[in-house]
Chain A
């Protein structure tokens, strides 16, 4: 009898030991080296893409300065091309909504489209020309998320006026050109500032936290990252770039919802970059290179006998082939032959099932559902 009561109290003690959220750092070694995968992703994918984006935003700012000081057609064209280059690199950065990026809502301030032109106009009109140091807007608030970032810059350099001559005039001879210059300066500076903030945090502290955060719980980097990745694929790529303009989620197609609406011809190119970013991340391919390190593809291979990675990569390939058949201007594609858009959506969609159902089951990731009990 004594034995029984003893056992009973041991049990109670054990229960209190197994606390609800163990966050231990010394993870035992296993067949798959999770830390090596995160290290590859941090050092060869995330950090290089952030560095490249920061450089390209520096270039954008330099070209913007050149353009506003000397508003010529050549300088406008130069600025547009550096905007596009930075925008293409952004496609590699957007999915990493983790660490500082998550904390400061980075992607919400970089790429919400369609941009809200009336918000932009009212921000500009609110500038007091007699006191340019004072701003009547706070570009970091949620209300201004659709008035900043790449889509807002695009509006400012492609569509603030009817044609290139009048766009140049908007920054040189128009009555309120100083306000336009100031707003363009503010939003390009903000993009650079946010990017530096995120990159510096990775460099100074977050990288080391990130690569060791391999526990299987809802807050670990290894789980959050795969959730971010799937979320980006489903929302940022599949829905935002293709599905929404094609009218998949609405009663009629919405051609004015494409990314790169005002520059017209880059929407497909940006989507292709985004798909490449997805493929590279999944396979652990380094940024702007072709060297293959450990990625989730390898993690999945280690965890199942099913050839799931091949199926996912094949599906990416099919989606890419379909995407390639589209018009460079996706908005135009929606208007001329929307069925090609919906077929592309369907092919992107098939990979969602493979990742969200099969991959997550194989990895048995603790997803950020409510942490209620199971049985």
Chain B
């Protein structure tokens, strides 16, 4: 049966449409980022960048960061065109992932999704149909192995389903947090603004959001509910786009969901595209259109992708290896499709102490961090620790003796009153980052039930 599955084929049109859609959205995303001036404000202006543990060697490249973005945008364009596809998608994956690893201040689940998806696409024959590569090779294929489109569907299903599982907690379902804080603050939206003031709205939105995430994979997989599922996806993502500043993510998800539709639908899209493009080169060079494309080196690709999906399925559960409340410590929070679950704010100040004399002074964070970095640092323990080390190194280099670094931190989570967050008697400069539990985070003093 297993063997049978991997010999099955599907039309190559869906994969081609997906490649084009993905490439164009990424071009748009890069251009938008550039034009908003965010390359400068997020990656060039800050004096210091928050690195991911183990990736401290990845840093912005000064003004060359623009070249990095240019490479990223160009490779996305090449992906859309299906031109030198394999090299283009590898370049895209590398440049995009490098960008995301430069500073975790800007971590977003949807950037992680793009990285993961582009990694998957390296192994997919997305340039076998409706691609410029077809001219160079003079070959195109009507069918590709079924697992290629299925792997994209599987990834999408994981994203939605895990996002739904993450909503199964008492804050989201019973207290309607954080929507209870966020929705009323949209009072200035036309039409929706008044609606958002109603007391029951956050509860309805919380529950329907949870039900949507958990059910959408199945609605899209079954032919009979597919159109309904897609309508729901459009409504859901447009609504979130109107209510929250989530950039291109809703668009990415809506376009990605098209992959669930059958070949006829995608062929229709390509026919519409044809009307606009009128590919002239058909007349220049004869392309031989064959039936089935056979993936090369499946004995490498299939194990790699299997491992990839095993990791995808397991990684979000790593939080259960840590004690204490996940939302409070955030140990295992990222890379797990936990989207919009927390309204968390913090205030963290550092005291630099001379270990011998006890003389001390307080650091003005604005001397070192942008306001956005300071905001993100204030409630995330790994940021707090990394910044403590940066400060310790900075003041040691300035000639201060026996430097110790203490943090006084207060954090408020999902409408609860702020409470002390970090043990202020711990010299953070003497503590090294690791995957171990951070026992210098003070207890949460409350319970959030659920997954």
Contacts and interface: CB of A to CB of B under 8 A. Distances in A.
A357 B248 CA distance: 29
B194 to A, nearest CB: 5
A28 B186 CA distance: 11
A49 to B, nearest CB: 28
A375 B418 contact: no
B345 interface: yes
A27 B188 contact: yes
A36 to B, nearest CB: 14
A34 B182 CA distance: 17
A346 to B, nearest CB: 10
A362 B418 CA distance: 11
A137 interface: no
Interface stretch (B57-65, B67-75, B147-155, B227-235): B227-235
A34 to B, nearest CB: 8
Given A304-B415, A364-B185, A28 B193 contact: yes
Interface in A137-179: none
B247 interface: yes
Interface string A239-251: 0000100011111
Contact of B241 (A18, A28, A357, A369): A18
Contacts of A361: 181, 343, 345, 412, 415
Nearest to B195: A28
Interface in B2-60: 36, 38, 41-42
B238 interface: yes
Size range of the chain B interface in the assembly: 35 or more
Nearest to A374: B245
Contacts of A308: 417
A358 interface: yes
Interface stretch (A4-12, A59-67, A123-131, A192-200): A4-12
B359 A374 contact: no
A370 B361 contact: no
A224 to B, nearest CB: 14
Contacts of B193: 27-28, 30
A250 B361 contact: yes
B417 A306 contact: yes
A329 B189 CA distance: 51
Given A30-B187, A249-B361, A250-B361, A353 B410 contact: yes
Interface residues of A, number: 55
Of A358, A360, A365, A372, most B-chain CB atoms within 10 Å: A372
A372 B375 CA distance: 13
Contacts of A243: 362
A3 B230 CA distance: 11
B246 A373 contact: yes
15 contacts: A11-B237, A11-B254, A22-B190, A29-B194, A30-B193, A30-B197, A216-B186, A248-B361, A248-B362, A357-B346, A361-B415, A372-B38, A373-B249, A374-B340, A375-B246
Interface of A: 1, 3-5, 7-8, 10-11, 14-15, 18, 22, 24, 27-31, 34, 214-217, 220, 243, 247-251, 303-304, 306, 308, 352-354, 356-358, 360-365, 367-375
Given A14-B238, A28-B187, A370-B41, 5 more contacts: A356-B347, A357-B347, A360-B345, A364-B185, A373-B247
Interface of B: 36, 38, 41-42, 106, 108-110, 181-182, 184-190, 193-194, 197, 227, 230-231, 234, 237-238, 241-242, 244-251, 254, 258, 261, 264-265, 268-269, 339-340, 343, 345-347, 359, 361-364, 370-372, 375, 410-412, 415, 417-418
Closest 7 CB pairs of A and B: A373-B247, A364-B185, A215-B188, A375-B108, A357-B418, A369-B372, A370-B372
